[in-house]
Amino acid sequence: MPARAERPEITEHRLRRVEKLLADMSLGEKLAQLVGVWLNVNRDEGVVAPLQDSMQGEDVQFEAFARDGLGQITRHFGTRPVDPGWARSALAERQRWLRENTRLGIPALVHEECLTGLAAWRATTYPAPPSWGASFDPDLVEEMGRRIGASMRALGVHQGLAPVLDVIRDQRWGRVEECVSEDPYEVATIGAAYVRGLQSTGVIATLKHFVGYSNSRAGRNLAPVHAGAREVADTLLFPFEVAVRDAGAGSVMNSYAEIDGVPIAADDHYLTRVLRDDWGFEGTVVADYFAIAFLHTLHAVATDAEDAAVQALTAGIDVELPTGVAYLEPLARAVTSGRIDEALIDRALRRVLRQKAGLGLLDDDYDPEPGRAEEGPVNGPEDGRVDLDDPASRDVARRLAEESVVLLTNDGVLPLGDASGRKVAVVGPNADDVAALFGCYSFVNHVLPHFPDVETGLAAPTLLEALRAELPGAELATERGTGVDDGDRSGIAAAARLAAGSDVAILVLGDRSGLFGRGTSGEGCDVEGLDLPGAQAELAEAVLTTGTPTVVVLMTGRAYAVPGLLRDAAAVVQAYFPGEEGAVAIARVLSGAVNPSGRLPMSMPRGTAGQPYSYLHPKLGGAGSVSNLDPAPALPFGHGLSYTSFAYADLTVAAEVRAGQPIRCSVVVRNTGERAGAEVVQVYASDRIASVTRPLAQLVGYARVELAPGESARVAFDVPARLLSFTGRDGRRVVEPGEVGVSVRRSVADVVEERTVLVTGPVYAFTGDERRLTTVSVEH
- Segment among 621-625, 642-646, 677-681 with least mean pLDDT: 621-625
Confidence of residue 610 (pLDDT cuts 50, 70, 90): confident
pLDDT at 385: 67
Mean pLDDT calculated for residue range 86-98: 96
Residue 734 near residue 726 (C-beta atoms within 8 A)? yes
Of 216 and 50, the one with more pLDDT = 216
Question: For residue 1, is pLDDT > 70?
Answer: no
Residue 513 near residue 438 (C-beta atoms within 8 A)? yes
Question: For residue 400, is pLDDT > 90?
Answer: yes
pLDDT at 609: 86
Question: 670-690 b/e with 16+ CB inside 10 Å = b?
Answer: bbebeeebbbbbbbbbbbeeb
Confidence of residue 620 (pLDDT cuts 50, 70, 90): very high
pLDDT at 291: 97
Mean pLDDT calculated for residue range 21-47: 87
Mean pLDDT calculated for residue range 470-477: 97
Integer Rg of the chain from CA: 26
pLDDT at 47: 61
pLDDT at 2: 40
Which pLDDT tens digit goes with each residue over 480-534?
999 999 999 999 999 999 999 999 999 999 999 999 999 999 999 999 999 999 9
pLDDT at 302: 98
pLDDT at 226: 85
Pairing of strands 656-658, 750-760: parallel
Question: For residue 366, is pLDDT > 90?
Answer: yes
The one-letter amino acid code at 562 reads: V
Mean pLDDT calculated for residue range 455-470: 97
Confidence of residue 369 (pLDDT cuts 50, 70, 90): confident
When the pLDDT of each residue in the chain is averaged and rounded to a whole number, the result is: 94
pLDDT at 54: 52
Cβ atoms < 10 Å from Cβ of 150 = 25
Question: For residue 86, is pLDDT > 80?
Answer: yes
Question: For residue 408, is pLDDT > 50?
Answer: yes
User: Residue 73 and residue 78: Cα distance in Å, rounded?
Assistant: 11
H helix and E strand count, the chain: 22, 27
Pairing of strands 109-112, 159-160: parallel
Residue 276 is given by DSSP the state: I
Question: For residue 57, is pLDDT > 70?
Answer: no
Report residue 100: phi and psi, to 5°: -100, -20
Which pLDDT tens digit goes with each residue over 287-313?
999 999 999 999 999 999 999 999 999
Question: For residue 378, is pLDDT > 90?
Answer: no
pLDDT at 370: 76
CA distances from 458 to 228, 408, 575 (A): 45, 30, 20
pLDDT at 58: 60
pLDDT at 55: 58
User: Residue 760 and residue 342: Cα distance in Å, rounded?
Assistant: 53
pLDDT at 9: 72
**Which of 276, 294, 278 has its CA nearest to residue 351?**
276
Which pLDDT tens digit goes with each residue over 102-154?
999 999 999 999 999 999 999 999 999 999 999 999 999 999 999 999 999 99
Mean pLDDT calculated for residue range 174-184: 98
Q: Is 544 exposed, middle or buried (0-12, 13-18, 19+ CB in 10 A)?
A: buried
Cβ atoms < 10 Å from Cβ of 382 = 5
Of 11 and 356, the one with more pLDDT = 356
Question: For residue 4, is pLDDT > 50?
Answer: no
Helices (H), 303-363: 305-315, 329-336, 342-358
pLDDT at 48: 67
Which pLDDT tens digit goes with each residue over 443-455?
999 999 999 999 9
Question: For residue 374, is pLDDT > 90?
Answer: no
The one-letter amino acid code at 763 reads: V
With a pLDDT cut of 70, the percent of the chain lying above it is 95
Question: For residue 407, is pLDDT > 90?
Answer: yes
Which pLDDT tens digit goes with each residue over 695-719?
999 999 999 999 999 999 999 999 9
Residue 118 near residue 110 (C-beta atoms within 8 A)? no
Question: For residue 655, is pLDDT > 50?
Answer: yes
Q: What is the pTM of this model?
A: 0.96
With a pLDDT cut of 90, the percent of the chain lying above it is 92
Mean pLDDT calculated for residue range 236-254: 98
